C-alpha cells in the first residue's frame, strides 16, 4: 500500500481473494476491526453475486465470507491486534 511505503512502514499484504481466510481468521479479524461481520462486507458485491445474506446474523455472514471472499471489504490493514479498513487510504495511518 503506497501510503505505508511512503512512510517507510514494514507491512505484509495478505491476498485473501487468492488465499481465502478461514472461519477462525475471519472471527479474529472481526475482533481486530471491532466490527460485526456485516459491517465489513461489500454490499455491492453481495448484490452482484445475488447472495441472500442476513447481515444481522454473524454466523450467516461469516459462512458467506468463507465461501465468497470477494464480499470482504478491502484493503484491511492489521497491526498487532488492531485493524482498519484502508479506505480512504489515510485511515491506515491511525494504526501507526
Spatial CA neighbour of 89 closest among 70, 79, 74: 74
The pTM for the full model equals 0.87
Range of the domain at 32: 2-95
What cell was used for 92? 491506515
pLDDT of amino acid 3: 80
- Provide the domain count of the chain: 1
How would residue 89 be classed by pLDDT, with cut points 50, 70 and 90? confident
pLDDT of amino acid 93: 84
Q: What CATH number is associated with residue 85?
A: 3.40.30.10
b/e 56-77 (16+ beta carbons within 10 angstroms → b): eeeeebbebbeebbbbbbbebb
> What are 69-87's pLDDT values in tens digits?
999 999 898 888 899 998 8
CA dihedral (48, 35, 26, 84) positive or negative:
positive
Amino acid at each position: 500500500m503506497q501510503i505505508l511505503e511512503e512512510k517507510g512502514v514494514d507491512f505484509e499484504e495478505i491476498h485473501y481473494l487468492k488465499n481465502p481466510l478461514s472461519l477462525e481468521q475471519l472471527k479474529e479479524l472481526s475482533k481486530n476491526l471491532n466490527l460485526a461481520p456485516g459491517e465489513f462486507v461489500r454490499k455491492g458485491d453481495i448484490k452482484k453475486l445475488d447472495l441472500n445474506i442476513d447481515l444481522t446474523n454473524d454466523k450467516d455472514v461469516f459462512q458467506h465470507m468463507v465461501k465468497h471472499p470477494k464480499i470482504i471489504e478491502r484493503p484491511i490493514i492489521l497491526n498487532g491486534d488492531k485493524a482498519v479498513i484502508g479506505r480512504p487510504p489515510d485511515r491506515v495511518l491511525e494504526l501507526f
